[in-house]
Amino acid sequence: MKAAKITAKIRDAVPVCLYAEGEEKARYKNIELPDEIKALEIMDFHFDIDAAGWISFRLHFEPGVLPEELPESKPPVTRVQRRAEKAAKTLLASLTAAKAAEAVKAEAVVDTADLAAAAAEVIAAAGGTDITVIHAPGEDYTIATAQGTIIAEIHHGELTDEAPAEEPAEDEAPAIRFDVPSKKCGALARAIADYTGDAAEYLNPPSYAYQIGTLGLERDGSLIGELPSGLLDALAEQGFIPAE
């Protein structure tokens, strides 16, 4: 079992302690557990209550599984940053379309610098957080918070005729449809989230879909994306069977 699967089930306030060979190697807040640690296989786990009544959650690893140099805590994502991220996606989609149409009409090159600056300005106003625009090599730009959390990236090649050709449809991971009524899609989304360790985000109307990490769950029960190993077996144990 990977660390992410079990830590996703505990409260944010409970410290997660990493143990190997009977010794505590490090401890993190659950919401700050690095992705590198979440991906590791655990040997055992249990809750511990000390004499003062404080609760901690212990993850036990086989010798040699934990890296010698443990990663820094994962910076917590605030509500403001989540709002800013959603604003970025909406804004970038509309600005990209507008700039691309303008470039075609005027036979001009899309100015990614202007696009990034405009996006950053609106995101900052909507989210109430400081935004910086980082010029990457070439004509690519990254929009990030002042603390360095990346919100969005703009790639010049994706906005102009320099964009690479799309991959053939047959190379894409096929959708897998589960025969569940729409009112039970939420339960299926939570089961997937429990396994992957990602949050299940409801996308509201008009799609009524769920986003779980890199996976998408449509209203009709279609699961889209590259499935992690063992997910279908885990879902089958809970009664979620793909339709034939």
Q: Residue 108: is its pLDDT beyond 60?
A: no
Residues 132-187 pLDDT 10s: 777 665 667 777 776 666 767 777 666 655 444 444 444 455 688 898 887 788 89
Alpha-helical segments (H) within the chain: 3-7, 35-38, 79-106, 112-127, 156-159, 185-196, 231-237
User: What is the average pLDDT across 74-80?
Assistant: 66
CA distance 94 to 76: 28
Round the average pLDDT of the chain to a whole number and report it.
77
Identify the three-state secondary structure at position 132. strand
What's the confidence (pLDDT) of residue 168? 44
**Cα–Cα dist 131/147, whole Å:** 9
Classify 178 as helix, strand or coil: strand
> Where in 176-229 does DSSP place strands (E)?
176-177, 200-202, 210-212, 215-217, 222-224
Domain boundaries, the chain: 3-61, 79-159, 171-237
CA 22 to centroid of chain Cα atoms: 32
pLDDT of residue 164: 47
pLDDT at res. 139: 64
175 vs 70, higher pLDDT: 70
Please provide residue 86's backbone torsions phi and psi, each rounded to the nearest 5 degrees: -65, -40
User: d(Cα 17, Cα 45) in Å, to the nearest integer?
Assistant: 10
Average pLDDT over residues 72-92: 69
How many residues in total does the chain contain?
244
pLDDT recorded at residue 154: 74
- Quote the distance between the C-alpha of residue 77 and its chain's center: 11
Buried b (16+ CB within 10 A) or exposed e, 67-105: eeeeeeebeeeeeebeebbebbeebbeebbeebbeebee
pLDDT, tens digit, 9 for 90 and up, residues 158-172: 665 544 444 444 445
Residue of 219, 215, 218 lying closest to 196 (CA atoms): 215
Of residues 214 and 102, which shows the higher confidence score? 214
> Helix or strand or coil: residue 112?
helix
Q: Distance between CA 212 and CA 191 in Å, rounded?
A: 10
The SS3 of residue 110 is coil
Q: For the segment 188-240, what is each residue's pLDDT rounded down to a tens digit?
A: 999 999 998 888 888 877 777 889 988 889 888 899 888 888 899 889 888 88
